[in-house]
């Protein structure tokens, strides 16, 4: 099969022919039909995660995967409801099954687990072996395209989990303002979840690109504000003009840059809640006194678990999720990773294997 593989940090991926992977008794061989490009893939190649774990090279990136069942291991039980040809999506976090996080279902947080695309096999290839319990079948009667399904396993799930945390914190409601920072791959989904889960709150999207903000508006944003080259006072003035209020009650940060976090906390109302799902920066720099005195709450929110993805898939099958997809070929992967890394992609680039 063909695969786009990483042979070293800060080097282009190499498209080469490699052996088709075998499977163990409890695995399923998935024929990859679409694989989303995530900023995390760019960061992986660029060395962002190098200090955190030792990546065996060569490695095949790609953790947003949709495809079909090509082969079942002999140990896959009938109760898994999987058969050759079934359309599936891949749940990203594979836990060891024994730690506290795994026991409560948050296997993506397992300290001894694995992630597809961060080792020998990932979605930038024709086939990938997956433990059967990390596959979710998709009923073909809904006619969902692989290139729409693949991004939902990360870009479309990560902000969903973050928005659930905002909803549970009590800052949603008809008299509230929920802010979404960023209108890229995650933000285009985040704005939709903010509308779906915020119980009538006004949703305001903050970003630096008019083109991306236009998509956010199409996807349900009540107001959009371009923050490029603007001070906090400038941004606050535009917020007042748009909503009549000077502060936000909750924030879903799909960027995670230091500047974005400072701006978001600068706009946050007393007892406001901030959820970070983006990972553009490396540090958090916010004033301590207002954080304590105004009782802000700050959540980190990482990826999503099996339950989160089943809920996202239910929304997709109900036609509740819109997409902004750029279909690309495997041969175009390096060019698009560079565009992604520099914030120049609009929507989500997805490798499609026709």
Domain boundaries, the chain: 2-155+304-352, 158-300
Nearest to 6 by CA among 63, 52, 44: 44
Q: 270: which 2 tokens?
A: 């007393």
Superfamily of domain 158-300: NAD(P)-binding Rossmann-like Domain (3.40.50.720)
CATH class label, 2-155+304-352? alpha beta
Q: 104: which 2 tokens?
A: 């409560």
Contacts of 229 (CB under 8 A, 6+ apart): none
- Cα distances (Å, whole numbers) of residue 324 to 27, 38, 179, 189, 224: 32, 14, 20, 9, 17
Q: Do the two domains 2-155+304-352 and 158-300 of this chain adopt the same fold?
A: no
Q: Which residue has the tokens 């690109």?
A: 209
d(CA 75, CA 320): 36
**pLDDT per residue over 208-264, tens digit each?**
999 999 999 999 999 999 999 999 999 999 999 999 999 999 999 999 999 999 999
Q: Please give the pLDDT value at position 137.
A: 97
CB atoms inside a 10 Å sphere around CB 107? 24
- Cα distances (Å, whole numbers) of residue 348 to 40, 81, 183, 326: 13, 30, 11, 6
Could you tell me how far CA 165 lies from the centroid of its own chain?
15
CA angle, corner 45, sides to 279 and 32, nearest 5?
95
- Residues of the chain with pLDDT > 90, as a percent, come to 93
**pLDDT per residue over 120-152, tens digit each?**
799 999 999 999 999 999 999 999 999 999 999
Q: Please give the pLDDT value at position 120.
A: 79
- Residues of the chain with pLDDT > 70, as a percent, come to 100
d(CA 302, CA 278): 9
Q: What is the mean pLDDT of residues 154-169?
A: 98
Coil, strand or helix: which one is 14? strand
Give yes or no for residue 313 having a pLDDT over 90.
Answer: yes
């Amino acid at each position: 099969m063909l695969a786009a593989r990483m042979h070293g940090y800060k080097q282009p991926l190499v498209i080469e022919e490699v052996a088709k992977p075998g499977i163990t008794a409890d695995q399923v061989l998935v024929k990859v039909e679409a694989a989303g490009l995530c900023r995390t893939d760019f960061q992986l190649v660029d060395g962002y995660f190098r200090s955190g774990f030792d990546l065996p090279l060569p490695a095949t990136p790609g953790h947003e995967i949709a495809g079909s069942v090509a082969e079942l291991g002999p140990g896959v039980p009938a109760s898994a409801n999987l058969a050759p040809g079934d359309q599936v999506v891949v749940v990203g976090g594979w836990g060891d099954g024994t730690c506290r996080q795994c026991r409560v279902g948050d296997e993506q947080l397992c300290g001894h687990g694995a992630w597809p695309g961060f080792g020998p096999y990932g979605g930038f290839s024709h086939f990938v072996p997956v433990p059967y319990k990390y596959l979710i079948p998709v009923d073909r009667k809904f006619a969902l395209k692989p290139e729409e399904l693949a991004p939902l396993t990360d870009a479309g799930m990560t902000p969903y989990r973050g928005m659930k945390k905002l909803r549970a914190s009590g800052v949603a409601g008809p008299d509230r303002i929920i802010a979404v920072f960023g209108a890229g791959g995650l933000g285009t989904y985040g704005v939709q979840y903010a509308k779906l889960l915020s119980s009538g709150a006004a949703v305001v999207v903050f970003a630096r690109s008019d083109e991306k903000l236009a998509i956010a508006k199409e996807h349900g944003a009540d107001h959009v504000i371009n923050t490029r080259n603007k001070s906090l006072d400038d941004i606050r003035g535009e917020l007042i003009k748009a909503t009549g209020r000077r502060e936000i009650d909750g924030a879903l940060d799909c960027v995670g840059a230091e500047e974005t976090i400072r701006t978001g906390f600068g706009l946050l109302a007393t007892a406001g809640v901030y959820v970070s799902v983006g990972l553009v920066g490396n540090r958090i720099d916010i004033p301590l006194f207002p954080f304590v005195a105004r009782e802000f709450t700050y959540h980190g929110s990482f990826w999503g678990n099996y339950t989160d993805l089943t809920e996202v898939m239910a929304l997709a099958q109900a036609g509740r999720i819109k997409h902004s997809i750029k279909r690309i070929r495997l041969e175009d992967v390096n060019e698009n990773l560079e565009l992604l890394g520099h914030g120049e992609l609009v929507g989500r680039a997805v490798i499609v294997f026709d």
